[in-house]
Each structure stands twice: as C-alpha cells, then as structure tokens.
A and B are shown apart, each in its own frame.
Chain A
C-alpha cells in the first residue's frame, strides 16, 4: 500500500492542477474573448441597468405583461433567515416542485392555478404549461398557445388591438431547430420587452 501513496498523492495534486485549475481557467480565458456576452450570463441591459438574462426566466404578475410558468423556487425568509418562503424565479436557488403525480398538494396548487388563469384571461381551455411548474423554476419560455391564451388580457390592459399582439407573439415564437429539435416556444422576457417597446413607439 505504502508504495502507492506517493503516486496517489502526487497524481491527485497534478490532476487537480490540470483538470481542476488549468482546464477551467483556459476555457474561461477563451470564452471571455470569443463569447463575452454568453460567458458573462447573457445579461440584458435597459438604460444602463441590468434587467435580467435573456435566457433565464423572471417573474411577471402584472396584468400588462405576459406571464411565465409557475415557479417553485424558494428563498430565505427576510424575517427569519432559518426559514424559506416562496420566491418565484429565484435565480440563486433553482428548483422544481418535485411533487409526485398523485400529490394532493400538486393537485390543489394546479386547481387554484387553473381557476386563476381562467378568471384572469376569460374561461378558455388553459394550456398545461401555464399551470405546471418547470423543472428549474427559471423556465424563460411558454408555449405559443400559452402566449396566445393571454392576448385578450394584455390587449385589454394596454388598450391595444389583439391582432397586433398576436402578430407580436408570432414574431417572438421560436420554432424547432431545423424543424426538428426541441419544441416551439416564446421567450417571455423578450416578448414583454418588445411589448414595452411597442407601446413607447
């Protein structure tokens, strides 16, 4: 055993230097030069202030905006740091709900969400992605159906023609890559930014 200790310790030290320090630093160096925007989190700035990341979801609840999916992330309770409270779209603590399929808590949460979405948007068939929590709690996307579902509400709140909003949703719908990979989707932050831009114009 003893004659193996020297190579074991030295090898761990060498591989820590090579794969644990040099490799990530080399990737960081190249990435910062070649893809600085992505490497630093794809941040979106508005009037010089960071308002989020173009690939991370953020919470929308006002009636003037399209809403994202429910998020199950939590954060520390401001009143008592040992406890956690619901903090949707907490990008420093990603999580899904992890409720099982026969969970009573899941069923009740979804029932309430369905009722709320119906009352906000008029009683139509609610798209499933609007009442199910994403895996990360940070899903930046909703399905095109979920965006179109919200058009009447946003149109009313902003006093805009529904057709104009449907067109905007269409413009912000990303298809599958090469028509094959992934699923059609709408980036909620990008859509809402465009919405604000449209209004200002």
Chain B
C-alpha cells in the first residue's frame, strides 16, 4: 500500500460524492417530468416514441400493471437478442465472418443482457459480429439499466405517495431514464474514450506485422459507444474478452478513472434522487452513508490483501505484490478499487482478473455480491435492494422496542416484511443450491481450472455473480457448457425477477397506506444510529448466510497460501 494509492482512492471517492447532488437533482427533475436543459432537444423525441408505440404518457399504472409491462418489455428484449445472435451470420456488419451463436450460449447471453447481468460465456472479439455488439448488446445495456431505474422509481413512489393506487407508468419511466440520463452521459463518455484511444469503427480486423515479423490480428469495432454504456448502466459486458483490462477498452489511467466513476455514478446519485422524492434529503444521505461504510471497508481489505500479495512470490525472490492478472498502467491500487466498485455495483466489468486475486482480495468481491449488491449496487436495482433491507432493519428495530415499525411515515407490516424476506432468501437458494450440486457432479467439475479450495471459489463465484446479476467471473472457469449456460441463465432470471416482484408488491402495498405524522416514538432514519443498524443488519444477514461457504473457499485458501501450499 502506498500513499499515492490511498490518494487515488480518496480522489475517486471525493469526486463520486461530489457528483451525487447535481446528478441526483437532475434525475429527480427528469423523472417528475419537469423541464431540464435537455427538454427542448429530447421532449419531441420522447413524445414521438410514445406516439409510435401507443403509450399514453399521462396514464399511470397499478403496481401489477407496471410489473407486467416491465416483464413484457424484458421478454421482448430477450427474444430480440436471441434472434440477432442466432442470425448474425446472415445479417450485415459482420466483417470477421462470425458464425451463428450456439443455442444454449445465445440463451445464456440473452438472459444475461436482458437482466442487466452481462455474464459472458463468450469472448466478444471471437464470437460477436459488430451488429450483435450494437443492436443486440448495446441496446440491452441501455434498456436493462433503464428498467432498473424505472423499478426503483416505482418503489420510491410507494414511500413518497399516500392513499393512492398507482406507482407511475413503466413506459414513461423507462423512456425518460434512457433518453435524458443514459444516452447523453454515454455519448459524452464514448467520445472521451475515443479521444483517449478506444477504437470506434466498423472496419475489418487489422493484420499487423510486428517488429519481430510475427502477424498480429488487431480486432476492431464500434467499441467506445458500447463501453460507455456498459460502465454507466452497471452492465459490465466487455467488448473484448478480457474486458476493461484490454488496452483498447481502457487505454490510460484517465479512462480508467472515468470508467470506474461511471460504474457507481448513477447508483450513488439515485440515493439523492430518493431523498428528494420523499422530500427529505437526509434520508438519501443516510442510505449513501451506509453504502459508503461497507464500500470503503471493502476497498481497505482488498487493497491491503493485493499489496501484501502472495508469499509464494516472495519465496521466488520477488516483490510479493500481486501483479498476476493486473495491468502495469493501473497497478495494485486501481485494480483493487475497480474490483470493489464493480462488485459493489452489479457492474461486473473488470480491469484485472479476479480469478488471480489473493484469496482475501477476491473474497471481498464475492461478499459484496452476496450481500445483494446493495452497496450503491446496480442502476436502480441497488437502491431497491437496499430499501428491502431497510424494511428488514426497521422490522428488527421495531421488534427491539415492541412497536410497529415505520419508515418515512409508512407502517411496515407483515406483508412488507414477508415480501422483503422472500427477496432476500432467493440469493442463498440459488447460489448455495447450485454450488452444492456443481461441486459433486462430475459433469460440472470438469469446468474447474484450479484444483483445491480455489476451484470451489470459482464455482461459488459463478453462481454468486449470476444470481446477483453482476457478470464478473473467476474466469479461468469454463462456463460455456450446457450445464452452466442453463443453470446460470436460471440463476440470473430468478436473481433478478424474484427480487423485483416482491419489491413491486411492497411498492403497491405502501402506496395505498396513509402517511403517519412523526411522533416522539418514531425512530429517526437519518442519523448515525440508523446507519449503524442498517449496516449491522446487512452484515449479519449476509454473514450468517454465506460464512460457511466462504470458509470452505477463500478462507481455507488464504491459510494454505500462508503455509505456501500449492494445488
């Protein structure tokens, strides 16, 4: 660990925090339909989209209608991706002559992008045509992120409104998120990335003759436009196989800073949007504080573990700092910070190979995903996941004093608590269930690259990442098999929709309730005590659920590494 490393981390956190208010305020205005500086340009486009697709902008939806509209939209998106991938060989913009994507891989990829996961059982430059990258994958990067934002808006309205039936209009929320937030920010970032060196062309791969006379095929494509949104929309699916570690995808420390900032930007700012929508900005800051406590703790552990490095390196007479799988231009600090940011969010892009992290350095990403990616989290999904845990935390607080819990003036009753618990138990069910089957079945064990405890961590990471809709991997693992494509696809679907539907049910239940005035007995939810309680509840739920599994993987491997054992 170096002073410079800490300064880089501190600057990152400071810039992120500084952007929370301006972007959060802007989004609050957009989602309320108020006028912003983009309105003159984009309002005509927005109106045109509603007119062409037959949507009545003014007509609000009941929570169930809202959810069904979202499901129909995601299903249509899934089918569109699947069709394009299967047909890419006969479609245009395929200079590298990619053949059709196999059915199980196309299924996994379509689920992966529709659920905002971007798990990749393929390498972009060796599988996808330019049209697939653009029309199938880039599109889903936008609309799956917009779906997440729409859903959290519905849940926030559940708290903010009283004695009503409707939670907003899905089509309007999704369209506004895409047009006013995702598209302009991506556009700016894409041009910045090209300026720094990220390719943006439709040309064929370039064959270079290297200085030593070998042939090097340099893969090209419309990369910058996709990289901007995959960072911003917490999608994370790389244009190239090795994602943002590839110099073409992330050429300089400056692009690294901006790409890393984009991972958490919207999710962090949404806490402020939330505060504004419930008319108490302190509520947003309390959530932001709870997220930041866990985030910074994760950064400290991972940066420490990667810097302390690997005693096996020291035994070879080397500096033990763990540079395996990391790029020189980023070094230990930026690689550690990225790994924590990308798994705190549901992003999953990487600028270093998590599979080669030290056991404890790699355990932090696993834990952050297992907590449900509520530390800033995915765009929209992070905040609705966090609000579900707030419901549980308030329930626990209510039990302690024997009083019906309230949050933001709404009574938290049996229905809300049941729904929140339902969403929380889905994660361990899929993660631990499929991991348990995969570590005993011979057909699933052949995918493991590393024997010993690390092999267990690879399987655990895979189901954790897919269920939590993250998309990063311990990538030595061969995920592209029938078993993992299918179970992984299932994990992504359940991990996304079995959290969304209970969250929407809570939104529908809350929106009908009366607003209770705060009294002397109301537990204030904007102070340090609430932040402490929330962090405590998150860590206790996550710890009790996943500690045994973590003990078998990263913890055992850490002890083995200290004893200089290899497998």
**A contacts, CB < 8 Å to B:** 1, 4-12, 14-16, 18-21, 23-24, 26-28, 30-32, 34-35, 38-43, 49-53, 55-62, 65, 69, 89-104, 106-107, 110-111, 114, 125-129, 131-143, 176-177, 180-183, 185, 189, 192-193, 196
Please determine whether A23 and B183 come into contact, CB atoms closer than 8 angstroms: yes
Please determine whether B317 and A38 come into contact, CB atoms closer than 8 angstroms: no
Query: Known: A8-B69, A129-B323. Is A104-B199 also a contact (CB below 8 A)?
Result: no
Q: In the complex, which residue of chain A has the Cβ closest to the Cβ of B313?
A: A128
Please determine whether A136 and B209 come into contact, CB atoms closer than 8 angstroms: no
Please determine whether A100 and B194 come into contact, CB atoms closer than 8 angstroms: no
Query: Known: A1-B72, A19-B143, A98-B356. Is A177-B567 also a contact (CB below 8 A)?
Result: no
In the complex, A60 Cα to B216 Cα: how many Å? 12
Please determine whether A38 and B196 come into contact, CB atoms closer than 8 angstroms: yes
In the complex, A15 Cα to B45 Cα: how many Å? 11
Min C-beta distance of B311 to chain A, whole Å: 9
Chain A residues, Cβ within 8 Å of B257 = 181
Choose from B205, B242, B474, B557 the contact partner of A95 (Cβ within 8 Å): B242
Chain A residues, Cβ within 8 Å of B323 = 128-129, 132
Please determine whether B325 and A102 come into contact, CB atoms closer than 8 angstroms: no
Please determine whether A8 and B450 come into contact, CB atoms closer than 8 angstroms: no
Query: Known: A15-B143, A59-B214, A182-B256. Is A114-B476 also a contact (CB below 8 A)?
Result: no
Q: In the complex, which residue of chain B has the Cβ closest to the Cβ of A57?
A: B247
Please determine whether B324 and A39 come into contact, CB atoms closer than 8 angstroms: no
Choose from A19, A55, A135, A143 the contact partner of B248 (Cβ within 8 Å): A55
Choose from B135, B216, B355 the contact partner of A58 (Cβ within 8 Å): B216
In the complex, A35 Cα to B79 Cα: how many Å? 36
Query: Known: A126-B318, A135-B353. Is A104-B216 also a contact (CB below 8 A)?
Result: no
Please determine whether B248 and A101 come into contact, CB atoms closer than 8 angstroms: no
Please determine whether B218 and A100 come into contact, CB atoms closer than 8 angstroms: no
Choose from B11, B178, B317, B334 the contact partner of A19 (Cβ within 8 Å): B178
B466 interface residue (CB < 8 Å to A): no
B482 interface residue (CB < 8 Å to A): no
Chain B residues, Cβ within 8 Å of A127 = 319
Query: Known: A41-B248, A62-B212. Is A91-B75 also a contact (CB below 8 A)?
Result: no
Q: In the complex, which residue of chain B has the Cβ closest to the Cβ of A68?
A: B328
Choose from B75, B212, B449 the contact partner of A61 (Cβ within 8 Å): B212
Q: In the complex, which residue of chain B has the Cβ closest to the Cβ of A179?
A: B4
Please determine whether A10 and B474 come into contact, CB atoms closer than 8 angstroms: no
Chain A residues, Cβ within 8 Å of B226 = 24
Please determine whether A40 and B474 come into contact, CB atoms closer than 8 angstroms: no
B464 interface residue (CB < 8 Å to A): no
Query: Known: A50-B208, A52-B210. Is A99-B450 also a contact (CB below 8 A)?
Result: yes
Q: In the complex, which residue of chain A has the Cβ closest to the Cβ of B48?
A: A14
A-B contact pairs, 10 of them (CB 8 A): A19-B229, A24-B138, A32-B200, A55-B248, A92-B126, A97-B325, A100-B457, A101-B324, A133-B325, A135-B245
Chain A residues, Cβ within 8 Å of B72 = 1, 4-5, 7-8
B106 interface residue (CB < 8 Å to A): no
In the complex, A91 Cα to B198 Cα: how many Å? 14
Stretch touching chain A among B390-398, B414-422, B558-566: B558-566
B123 interface residue (CB < 8 Å to A): yes
B524 interface residue (CB < 8 Å to A): no
Choose from B141, B200, B214, B321 the contact partner of A28 (Cβ within 8 Å): B200
Please determine whether A35 and B194 come into contact, CB atoms closer than 8 angstroms: yes
Min C-beta distance of A96 to chain B, whole Å: 4
In the complex, A30 Cα to B195 Cα: how many Å? 11
4 A-B pairs with least C-beta separation:
A182-B253, A98-B476, A135-B245, A100-B454
CB-CB contacts below 8 Å: B142-163 with A: 142-143
Please determine whether B69 and A7 come into contact, CB atoms closer than 8 angstroms: yes
- 6 additional A-B pairs beyond A27-B191, A128-B323, A135-B350, beta carbons within 8 Å, are A4-B73, A15-B143, A19-B178, A99-B356, A134-B328, A180-B4
B274 interface residue (CB < 8 Å to A): no
Min C-beta distance of A160 to chain B, whole Å: 17
Chain A residues, Cβ within 8 Å of B322 = 101, 132
Please determine whether A139 and B54 come into contact, CB atoms closer than 8 angstroms: no
Give chain B's interface residue range (CB within 8 Å of chain A): 35 or more
Please determine whether B125 and A12 come into contact, CB atoms closer than 8 angstroms: no
Query: Known: A128-B323, A134-B328. Is A9-B76 also a contact (CB below 8 A)?
Result: yes
B180 interface residue (CB < 8 Å to A): no
Min C-beta distance of B482 to chain A, whole Å: 18
Please determine whether A101 and B209 come into contact, CB atoms closer than 8 angstroms: no
Chain B residues, Cβ within 8 Å of A196 = 211
Q: Mark B48-81, 1 if CB is under 8 A from A, else 0.
A: 0100111100000000000011001101110010
Min C-beta distance of A172 to chain B, whole Å: 13
In the complex, A31 Cα to B143 Cα: how many Å? 24
Query: Known: A6-B54, A28-B222, A107-B312. Is A128-B331 also a contact (CB below 8 A)?
Result: no
Query: Known: A94-B125, A98-B449. Is A141-B355 also a contact (CB below 8 A)?
Result: no
Q: Mark B23-60, 1 if CB is under 8 A from A, else 0.
A: 00000000000000000000001000100111100000
Please determine whether B211 and A58 come into contact, CB atoms closer than 8 angstroms: yes
Please determine whether B561 and A101 come into contact, CB atoms closer than 8 angstroms: yes
Q: In the complex, which residue of chain A has the Cβ closest to the Cβ of B319?
A: A128
In the complex, A10 Cα to B196 Cα: how many Å? 36
Chain B residues, Cβ within 8 Å of A41 = 199, 201, 206, 218, 220, 248
Q: In the complex, which residue of chain B has the Cβ closest to the Cβ of A131?
A: B318
Q: Of B11, B322, B453, B476, which is in contact with the most chain A CB atoms at under 10 Å from its CB?
A: B476
Please determine whether B7 and A100 come into contact, CB atoms closer than 8 angstroms: no
In the complex, A142 Cα to B349 Cα: how many Å? 23
Please determine whether B328 and A14 come into contact, CB atoms closer than 8 angstroms: no
Please determine whether A10 and B52 come into contact, CB atoms closer than 8 angstroms: yes
Chain B residues, Cβ within 8 Å of A128 = 313, 318-321, 323
Min C-beta distance of B547 to chain A, whole Å: 21
B298 interface residue (CB < 8 Å to A): no
Please determine whether B80 and A16 come into contact, CB atoms closer than 8 angstroms: yes
Query: Known: A49-B209, A180-B4. Is A30-B197 also a contact (CB below 8 A)?
Result: no
In the complex, A88 Cα to B305 Cα: how many Å? 29
B329 interface residue (CB < 8 Å to A): yes
B187 interface residue (CB < 8 Å to A): yes
Please determine whether A98 and B474 come into contact, CB atoms closer than 8 angstroms: yes
Q: Mark B203-246, 1 if CB is under 8 A from A, else 0.
A: 10111111110101111101011100100000000001110011
Chain A residues, Cβ within 8 Å of B252 = 177, 182
B516 interface residue (CB < 8 Å to A): no
Choose from A20, A26, A98 the contact partner of B135 (Cβ within 8 Å): A20
In the complex, A3 Cα to B100 Cα: how many Å? 33
Please determine whether B242 and A136 come into contact, CB atoms closer than 8 angstroms: yes
Please determine whether B317 and A7 come into contact, CB atoms closer than 8 angstroms: no
Please determine whether A59 and B210 come into contact, CB atoms closer than 8 angstroms: yes
